[in-house]
Structure 1
Amino acid sequence: MLGVRMISILEALPGATGPSLAERMHLAFSQDGKLAESPQFEFRPQQQRMAELVGDALEKNRALVVEAATGVGKSLAYLIPAATFALEQKRKAIICTHTINLQEQLIHKDIPIVKKIVGDFHAELLKGRNNYLCPTRLKSAFAQTGDLFSTSEAAELQLLMEWQRENPTGTLSEMDFTPGARLWSMVRSEPHACTPRRCPPGSGCVYQEVRRRMAAADVLVLNHTLFFTLLASSEEVLAEDANFIFPRDFVVLDEAHTIENIAAQAFGIHVTEGNLRFELGRLYNPKTRKGFFQSVGDSDAIREVTQTIGAAEMFFREAESRCKFSGPYGKEFRIREAGLTENSLALPLQRVANFALKAGDAAKSESQKLELLDIAKRLTALRVELGAFLDQTEEGHVYWAERGGGDTHNLSLHSAPIDVSPKLEEIFFSGGKACVFTSATLGVGDDEQLGYFRRRVGAEKARAASIESPFDFRRQMQLYLVKRMPEPKDAAYGDALQEKIEHFLDLSQGRAFVLFTSYSQLTAMADRLEDFCDERGWRLLVQGRGMPRHQMLAEFKKDVHSILFGTDSFWTGVDVPGEALSNVIITRLPFAVPDHPVVASRLEHLEEQGLNSFSEYSVPEAILKLRQGVGRLIRTRKDKGIIAILDPRLLTKPYGRAFMASLPDCPVEILG
């Protein structure tokens, strides 16, 4: 009965002059609409308004930027109009998120609800193809075990064979062990070696099966990075007449506050010493004497690749010596001029690629030929990227080198566009494309038109809306500020910070996130507070001490009085409803470190335009990050708790007013 009645309300026949999609969303989300038939439904005018705005943007092929605060229920507010529109217009909805948690929530929790409302449809979760095991490549690798793999790798390969037999539809993230990087590169899905022709229906190839289902899906869920990869890769794009990836598709980008940085990374150059060493080692590894050149028995090719491995080592050490890293722990060095060092790798890489092509042509098996052609293509791409980096051919890009941690040499060379807004405007906001950008934190201060975010991503032509939270923050949240604290460089700062953290932890009986902007400060405070927590029987979970992030969160939720010390990744995308998280302590305002080359270049770019980079970039970015951190506390109507911000600049600096205007309206207590 539900499905029949819903069709009459949500479905409009093509060409019909019935109610618009926005009007039908208003009705569906009303107090007596279809959603209200669920006992779990809670009428929220904010959610209803967002669904109307999304419906209007999709139906009119327009762009919408909408901030929907925590509690609005934005997932259903975009999924129901998106699924309805996709089914009626036979267009594909692409839903992009930043975090795995949200992707899992959409697929396993929200989309089943949407199907009860709009009727059944085909939804797929798409992971990057590197996550998929290719059985065709696996069998081929197994047949060449003696030539390709060391003894330990051969044992791992046997494990993979057994795992694949028991888990024919599994992916890397579902494995109960982690295969070595070199072995995985030989058996995962790759564009040239895992194709519809080599892996036809019935071959058991999970990626090709997902690809076929993807083409038939009504709704696709994927992450932002994969979306931009598909957008940029001509081999992966499935249709030349696509709006984005598919014909007549449309896009909803959730967690859109991350888009500027993800796009900058996607549109840049990335050449790592480790990756180059890795690709050459697939052809021949001098230590193990294994690889494809060993398999085909080409001694000249083996000699060439061995020499090139040595040349690569010399090239990267020379490049590293020319980078003036700040001390032994400095990670990044900005390269302001072309010609960091001579491109001594161009010819060796070309010669090795030619040997790989020649070996591929002479290969006895189709699988071996495709593997060699794939490596040749990758080496050629690395050679081209390396040349572009050294010559600094891309105008408006920032170039830098990055040094890996640990004892192993691993220099990486990067570039990124300083301003991504022109490129994003071209992709999303020109030519009448339907797209929605949404997040709980897009606005700065009291700017309801979201001007800062729209300028950063080229969305100035898009419609903008800001939808407030339905939560009662005056009842649910208490904010504490401090008027006086020593400067972080002051010797007294550590004692003062420890005293304040202990005070607020006692206030909430643990049950707290303590968020830091500096990892060194985090570890120093963790050492100071170990005894304090032990005395009270509170478990202290410290980021960077061996426990993965997802496990830290699981342990935190399980132990109701535990305390978690976290830095950057815990400020955003973490959801802990209930009493386990009753206190968020923020040690410093989260201003971005201005010495990272990307941040520094953005600041310079604004100054060159005659703008104040601190007020135009540093402050807005810190406000958005602070809003993310504060937003960890209240996740449902039942949550209650405190926020303590231990940075007096909120009260003593003129820009503090902009920070305060961006925080929820709640009681404030100022401590001396």
Structure 2
Amino acid sequence: MDDRRYVVLDVETTGSSPKKGEKIIQFAAVVWENGRISERFMSYVNPLKPIPAFIEELTGISTEMVEGAPVFSDIAADICRLLDGASFVAHNVHFDLSYVQAELEQAGYPRFMGSIMDTVELSRLMFPSFESYKLSELCRELEILHDRPHQADSDAEATAEIFGLILSRLEKLPLVTLKSLRKLSEAFISDLDEVLEEIIERKGDFPSTASGNRTEVFGSLAFSPVFTRKEEPLPEKASQPDFSELFLRMEESISGYEERNHQQQLMLSVYEALANREHLLAEAPAGTGKSIGLLIPSLKYALETGKGFIYSTHTVTLQNQLLEKDLPLAEKILGKRIKAAVLKGESHYICPHKFELALMEKDDNYDSNLTKSQLLIWLQETETGDADELNIPSGGRMLWERIHHDHLSAHPDNPYRDRSFYHLARKKAEQSQVVIVNHALLLNDAANGRQQLPDTEEILIDEAHHLERIAGDQWGVRLEYASIHAWLQRIGHLYSDNLLAAAAGWFENNSEKGYDLCLELDVLLKEFSEELDEFFTALHSTVLRKKKTSGNWVSYTVDELVLEDPYWQAIGELADRIRFYILDLTSIMKKQKQLLSHMELPLKVQTRMNEYFSIAEKLQKAGEAVSLLFSTGASDTAGWIEVEAKGAKNAAALCSRPVAIGEMLAGSLFEKHRSVILASGTLAVNGSFDYCIRELGLADFYPKKLILPQAYDYRKQAKLFIPSDIPGIRDVSQEKYTEAAAEGIAEFVRTVKGKALVLFTSFEMLRSTQQHLKANEQLSDYTVLGQGSGAGGKGKLIKSFRQLDKALLLGTNSFWEGIDLPGEELEAIIMVRLPFAPPDQPVNSAKTKRIEREGKNGFYDFSLPEAVLKYRQGFGRLIRSGRDRGVLMVMDRRILTARYGQSFLQAVPGLEVHYKPVKELAEIAADWLKK
């Protein structure tokens, strides 16, 4: 047992920095020794200055509360006594320590000189899978009572409990893990080295795992016992109940179940398509019970044939729903245990051997050392080895790129070959009736002719409206300066600790020719790095010169630059030089690889050499991408340059994408599988699958079609509002339009007194509207949450929105779908404009040109169908159950005035339409929603 004395502190202050004259207003300390709290100390502190309003709101501590409290110098002696001979522990220790040091110094006392412990850092280390390391979030995860956040005594108490758990977990770690952590701990903020040494000394060389700690040690790593578990084989094929029996079981198994004719129709259609070896397009609106409607017939078919199938989704949310809710329900209905597996691409899984080699390297990078330490702990917990479980620092991503599984991990000499998480996942997938994947992996396999997925003949594709876009990503190219620069950094130079130095060290002792090639390569790499910087800098400045924007990401098509920019020829010459350098570099590395093919290499050397040559392969693909993007006349490809306007001067990317993705999907997906079921809530445009069939390349396969009617009564549950007093979007400037839209939004939500999701088609318009809303005094009691405004990602914004009574949530593309806010959590959606994609967006522009070359209309045959589908997706956020009620306000009057407006009105039939000034619409909404 650790017999050290720890003082766990927390301070509340008037601001963020003692250097700016900010002062402590509350000091609390908890003494932790012998595994428990032995002493507590708390005092308010008079800062001799007013407490700012925002601090009072955050902490609940007012100026009046501290007026009669002691000044810090009055309690400084007590604090010094507490800290004498103890370790200083705090959550974000540098913040609390900086204040204590400043106040002690001003009071005439010596600064604290002992060891420190940061529970933020230690929590990251010991709980590597936690989503957040904020004190309140940690307490929630660890079930620690923390009833008064931002009160120093409550914060200190909670921090002490967390610290005690961390110490307890450290005690239980296997000896091999402790020894590895000890080596890494020198890079930490926390002075953990002495604690680790004491634990190591107590454990001695006895059992490598503590009693009750379920880990298995192999080599220098400790694992969860996942590799020694026996998997049951896939059951033999067996007859299954007919559908009438299954429908009865569904009625018995689902609480509150009412007979769903539409869901039953979906189930029968899916089963017939599988049995008849047909492809099926199925539109199943919200409320149909789509997931179960797809799963039951597919599992019935799988059990009858003894074969598994692939279920592909777009979102992690749906994958989790399948595993946690839908599959257990399906087991109950079918009366059979179902074997299911989630499978991801190789790069998601750790390669233990590569990780062990990385542990042996000297590394001064803080993020890298913290990540290594997290991985040591995580390996004892994970049963998947999947990086998605981890919350690693951003700098740790570069480490992961080096240690994830790839084809080299299967080398016969790899000592961890039988502890491959990727092969474990593959094996489990091959022994499962349903293999859950995402669209990216499904299409990556198709695009690259790989065999990461089990060889199945049937595929279910849910959320299929994403398929064409993700296919474009997989068949397309994106080449960023940052990526190539990272590869070159990893190769390094002759006098670094990186790959070129390692290769040179080996060749120097074993091949004079190989070493000479390293010398040549060292010179070329330096020249190439300079050329690369110049090339991407030229791309960055050229695009920004051509296209001014207030946004951050700007794109410009290569075709436009070829035609319009006088500097383009010079950039083309730079591109040629880049390609020639890549040819020279990869040629040298190929010669070195050939030399090594005749040598016996130790596994450690071979692993590093494999990484070295894998970068050569990446460079070769980069050269091919540059050639493709700078070739002319590729009418079947959209090519563009994307730059980060507010980023570094070389923050640019070369991008390309085939325009006709359907041809690729036809040849690599639909031809190669007997039955592909494509389902979504939004696949049809005005009752027709023609657009979807053309885009996905299904025309020659004559797929079955099923469009189920909407499950909800939109006439009773929703209303469509169109303001008559907002100017036409084509009649005024964008700034004037967003100003008017913001006024209308403010008027509407102030009257309705609820929350609203506000949808945009561009970040630029979102930011402008957000500024107007925040400046609007009518919304002083509203919280305006905006995507991309620094308030967190999509999940965090939605979580904040849920917790607020009065809030506006502003979002673009990803917010038009995948949001589930039922009932009173969301009663109003506002579309600031109809969701037409920007016509100058490179892929849209290329598609439009291609369609027009075929003699069709780019607007009616592409832009309009895409916008209608997005409109339906946006509306789908509003009504999530038969009990929901809500209003959709479309501020863009073209929905009524333009000839194509009917396409939007017909897309969600049954809605009652109101065309009035905003104030009247708000009153109608407020009255209707109350009823």
Alpha-carbon distance between aligned partners in 2 of 1:246 and 1:176, rounded to the nearest angstrom: 29
Quick one: structure 1 residues 540 and 395, their matched pair in 2 at CA, closer, same or farther if it must change by over 3 Å?
A: closer
* Larger displacement relative to structure 2 (44-53 or 102-111): 102-111
Residue number in structure 2 paired with 1:456: 695
Aligned to 1:8: none
Distance in 2 of aligned mates of 1:353 and 1:651: 60
Alignment pair present for 1:295 and 2:502: yes
Share of identical aligned residues, percent?
A: 26
User: Which residue of the partner structure matches residue 6 of structure 1?
Assistant: none
The whole-number CA distance in structure 1 between the counterparts of 2:436 and 2:672 is 24
Residue 357 of structure 2 corresponds to 140
Q: Is the aligned partner of 1:271 residue 2:479?
A: yes
Instruction: Verify the 8 A CA contact 1:268 1:414 in the aligned structure 2.
Output: yes
2:720 touches 2:887 (CA, 8 Å); kept in 1?
yes
Map residues 148-547 of structure 1 onto 2, 5 A cutoff: 149-152=363-366, 154-169=368-383, 170-180=385-395, 181-193=397-409, 198=414, 202-203=418-419, 205-234=420-449, 236-237=450-451, 245-284=453-492, 289-296=496-503, 297=505, 300=519, 301-319=521-539, 326-329=546-549, 331-336=554-559, 341-342=572-573, 343-356=576-589, 361=596, 364=602, 365-391=605-631, 396-408=636-648, 409-430=650-671, 433-445=674-686, 447=687, 449-460=688-699, 461-488=702-729, 489-490=732-733, 492-530=736-774, 532=776, 537-546=781-790, 547=792
Give 1:230's aligned amino acid. Answer: D
| Higher deviation after alignment, 647-656 or 391-400 | 391-400
1:567-646, aligned counterparts within 5 Å?
A: 567-646=812-891
- Take 2:343 and 2:777, find their aligned partners in 1: how far apart are those partners? 42
CA distance in 2, matches of 1:465, 1:405: 46
- Give, in angstroms, the shift of residue 153 of structure 1: 5.1
Measured after TM superposition, the shift of residue 458 of structure 1 is 1.7
User: Structure 1 residue 551: deviation in Å?
Assistant: 0.7
- Aligned counterparts of 1:217 and 1:579: Cα–Cα separation in 2: 40
Deviation at 1:612, TM superposition (A): 1.6
**How much is the aligned-residue C-alpha RMSD, in angstroms?**
2.9
Q: CA deviation at 1:121?
A: 2.1
Distance 1:272 1:73 in 2: 42
In the aligned structure 2, how far is the partner of 1:211 from the partner of 1:585?
45
How far off its partner does 1:519 sit?
1.7
Residues 50-73 of structure 1: per-residue CA shift (max 9 Å, x gap): 111111111111000011111101
Which deviates more, 428-437 or 43-52? 428-437
Q: Residues 386 and 52 from structure 1, CA distance in 2 versus in 1: closer, same or farther, beyond 3 angstroms?
A: same
- The separation in 2 between residues aligned to 1:222 and 1:534, in whole angstroms, is 47
Q: CA deviation at 1:384?
A: 2.7
What SS does the aligned partner of 2:572 have?
Answer: coil
CA separation of 1:35 and 1:370: change in aligned 2, threshold 3 A: farther
Partner SS state of residue 198, structure 1: coil
Q: Is 1:115 paired with 2:331?
A: yes
The TM-score with structure 2 as length reference comes to: 0.64
2: CA distance between counterparts of 1:535 and 1:13?
A: 63
Mapped to 1, the partners of 2:738 and 2:541 lie a distance apart of 36
- What amino acid maps onto 1:251 in structure 2? I
Contact 2:760 2:832 in 1 (8 A): yes
SS at match of 2:788: coil
1:389-441, CA deviations, whole angstroms, 9 ceiling, x for partnerless residues?
33359661122222234332132222211122222223344477201111111
Q: What is the CA–CA distance in structure 2 between the aligned matches of 1:428 and 1:507, rounded to whole Å?
A: 52
SS at match of 2:719: strand
CA distance in 2, matches of 1:618, 1:484: 27
From 326, 336, 346, the counterpart of 1:129: 346
For residue 209 of structure 1, report the CA deviation from its aligned partner: 1.7
How much does 1:13 deviate? Answer: 6.9
Match of 2:577, SS state, is coil
Deviations 1:562-616 (A, max 9, x none): 3211111101111112211111111100111000111011111111122221111
2:309 to 78, 86, 93: 93
Contact 1:504 1:644 in 2 (8 A): no
Counterpart Cα distance in 2 of 1:577 and 1:136:
47
Aligned-partner Cα distance in 2 for 1:669–1:54:
40
Corresponding residue SS for 1:341: helix
Cα deviation for residue 510 of structure 1 reads 2.5
How many correspondences in the alignment? 640
Query: Which is worse superposed, 323-332 or 275-284?
Result: 323-332
Whole-angstrom distance in 2 between the partners of 1:535 and 1:351: 62
Distance 1:485 1:393 in 2: 44
Contact 1:285 1:291 in 2 (8 A): yes
- Distance in 2 between residues matched to 1:231 and 1:138, nearest whole Å: 30
**What secondary structure does 1:444 align onto?**
coil
Question: Is 1:650–2:867 an aligned residue pair?
Answer: no
After superposition, residues 44-59 of structure 1 pair within 5 angstroms as 44-59=260-275
Distance (Å, rounded) in 1 between the aligned partners of 2:442 and 2:367: 33
Tell me if structure 1 keeps the 8 A contact 2:309–2:433.
yes
Amino acid at match of 1:131: H
Amino acid at match of 2:535: F
**TM-score for the superposition, normalised by structure 1:** 0.88
Q: Is the 8 Å Cα contact of residues 277 and 675 (structure 2) preserved in structure 1?
A: yes
More displaced stretch, 307-316 vs 112-121 = 307-316
CA distance in 2, matches of 1:133, 1:572: 32
Aligned residue in 2 for 1:4: none
- Mapped to 2, the partners of 1:562 and 1:655 lie a distance apart of 33
Q: Secondary structure at the match of 2:467?
A: helix
Higher mean displacement: 54-63 or 168-177? 168-177
Aligned partner of residue 408 in structure 2, secondary structure: coil
Q: Which AA in structure 2 matches 1:595? A: D
What code does the residue aligned with 1:232 have? A
> Which is higher, the Rg of structure 1 or of structure 2?
2
| Structure 1, gaps ≥5 residues long | 1-10, 239-244
C-alpha distance in 1 between matches for 2:373 and 2:818: 34
Matches of 2:381 and 2:592, distance apart in 1: 34
Could you tell which deviates more after superposition, 529-538 or 91-100? 529-538
Q: 1:43 to 1:405 in 2, by over 3 A?
A: farther
1:642 deviation in Å? 1.1
Of residues 492-501 and 550-559 in structure 1, the stretch that sits farther from structure 2 once superposed is: 492-501
Question: 1:161–1:173: structure 2 CA closer, same or farther, 3 Å change rule?
Answer: closer
CA distance, structure 1, for counterparts of residue 333 and residue 634 of structure 2: 49
Does structure 1 conserve the Cα–Cα contact (< 8 Å) formed by 2:543 and 2:643? no
State how far apart, in whole Å, the 1-side matches of 2:434 and 2:673 are: 21
Q: Whole-Å Cα distance in 1 between the matches of residues 448 and 666 of structure 2?
A: 19
Change over 3 Å in CA distance of 1:375–1:428 after alignment to 2: closer
The structural deviation recorded for 1:630 is: 0.8
Deviation digits for residues 116-158 of structure 1, max 9, x if unmatched? 2221122112233323222211111122x23xx4443553354
Change beyond 3 A, Cα 1:325–1:40: farther
Structure 2 CA distance, aligned partners of 1:186 and 1:431?
Answer: 33
Match for residue 3 of structure 1? none
* DSSP-derived class of the 2:259 partner: coil
Q: Indicate the residue corresponding to 2:291 in structure 1.
A: 75
